[in-house]
Amino acid sequence: MNKQLRKAVIAGNWKMNKTPAEAKTLVEEMIPLTKDADCGVVVCVPYVDLCTVLDAVKGTNIEVGAENCHWEKSGAYTGEISADMLTSMGVKYVIIGHSERRTYFGDTDVTVQKRVRAALDAGLTVILCVGEYLEQREQGVTNELVAMQTKIALGGVSCEELSRVIIAYEPVWAIGTGKTATAEQANEVCAEIRRVLSSLYGSEAANGVTIQYGGSMNAKNAEELLDQPDVDGGLIGGASLKAEDFSIIVKAASR
Ligand code: PEP
C-alpha cells in the first residue's frame, strides 16, 4: 500500500568498468530493452563515460548518475570532481558513500555527510549507500549501524531536500560476492531505515523515500527482493553490465 507512495528506481553502478566506446555500446543495448519501464532507470557510470552516455540517452527514459563527487565546489583537489561539474554536464544522480569508497578510499560517515550536502546544494539526487560488514551483522549491530550511518549522512538535510535522496541498503558482505541477503533480511533493514527517517522527518516524508536494496541483485532474485514492502528498487553492480539482465531487473520493478 505505502509502496504506491514512492517511485521504484533501478540504478546501475558500473564501477570502474567500460571505456567510452564500450559504454556507448552497452547503453545503446539498454535503451530499447528498458523503454517501457514503469520505474526510474538510472545508470551511474565512470566520469570519463558521462559525456558519451548523456549523449546516447537523450530523449529516452534512462537517466545518468556519477559514482561519487567531492564536497568542495572547486580548488586544489587533484583528481577530484565537484557536484557542480556534474550538474553542468546534465548529470542528475550521484552515488555517495558506496562501501567501496568507504573501504578503499577512506570515505567516513563525516565525509559522506559533506558529499551529500554538496550534491544536494548542486541540485543532484543522491543515492546514499549504507550497510554493514559481515562481522557487524554477526555481532547483531546491523540496525544500529545502518541507523547511525543514515543519521550522520543526513545531518542538516531538510525535509524538502529529502525528496532528492534515495537510500541504498547494501550489506557489504553481499556486494560483488554472489551472496544475496534474503528477501526478509533486506526488507527488515530497509524498514529500519524507514523508521529512522520517520523519527527524523515524520512518517509522511519517510513513506515517500525510495529505499533500494543492493548486493548481488540479479535477473533471478530481483523479483523476490523487489516484492518486499519496504524494498523500492535496487542498486545493481555486476548485473548492470549486461543489458539483458539489467532489463529483467527493471521489468521486475515495473510490475
Ligand atoms: C554495488 O556495487 O552497489 C553492488 C550492489 O554490486 P553487485 O550488484 O555486483 O553486488
Atom of ligand 1 nearest to the CA of 13: 2
**Which protein residue's CA is at the shortest distance from atom 6 of ligand 1?**
237
Question: 82-107, pLDDT tens digit by residue?
Answer: 999 999 999 999 999 999 999 999 99
Please report the pLDDT score of residue 42 as a whole number: 98
Dist. CA 41–CA 189, nearest whole Å: 23
| Active-site residue flag, 170 | yes
Q: Select which of 63, 67, 132, 170 is catalytic.
A: 170
Q: Which three cell numbers stand for residue 87?
A: 550538474
Region 148-162: mean pLDDT is: 98
- SS3 per-residue string spanning the chain: CHHHHCCCEEEEECCCCCCHHHHHHHHHHHHHHHCCCCCEEEEECCHHHHHHHHHHCCCCCEEEEECCCECCCCCCCCCCCEHHHHHHHCCCEEEECCHHHHHHCCCCHHHHHHHHHHHHHHCCEEEEEECCCHHHHHCCCHHHHHHHHHHHHCCCCCHHHHCCEEEEECCHHHCCCCCCCCHHHHHHHHHHHHHHHHHHHCHHHHHCCCEEEECCCCCCCHHHHHCCCCCCEEEECHHHHCHHHHHHHHHHHHC
**Full-model pTM:** 0.97
pLDDT score of 120 more than 70? yes
Q: Give CA separation, 13 vs 78, 194, 200, in Å.
A: 24, 23, 28
Please report the pLDDT score of residue 4 as a whole number: 81
Q: Which residues line ligand 1 (CB under 6 A)?
A: 13, 15, 170, 175-176, 214-217, 235-239
Q: For residue 1, what pLDDT band results from cuts at 50, 70 and 90?
A: low
Tell how far the Cα of 16 is from the centroid of ligand 1, in angstroms: 12
Tell how far the Cα of 245 is from the centroid of ligand 1, in angstroms: 13
Please report the pLDDT score of residue 86 as a whole number: 98
Region 144-150: mean pLDDT is: 98
Question: 4-16, pLDDT tens digit by residue?
Answer: 889 999 999 999 9
> Is there a contact between 121 and 89 (Cβ–Cβ < 8 Å)?
no
Tell how far the Cα of 202 is from the centroid of ligand 1, in angstroms: 30
**Which protein residue's CA is at the shortest distance from atom 7 of ligand 1?**
237
Question: 48-81, pLDDT tens digit by residue?
Answer: 999 999 999 999 999 999 999 999 999 999 999 9
Q: Select which of 70, 98, 132, 192 is catalytic.
A: 98
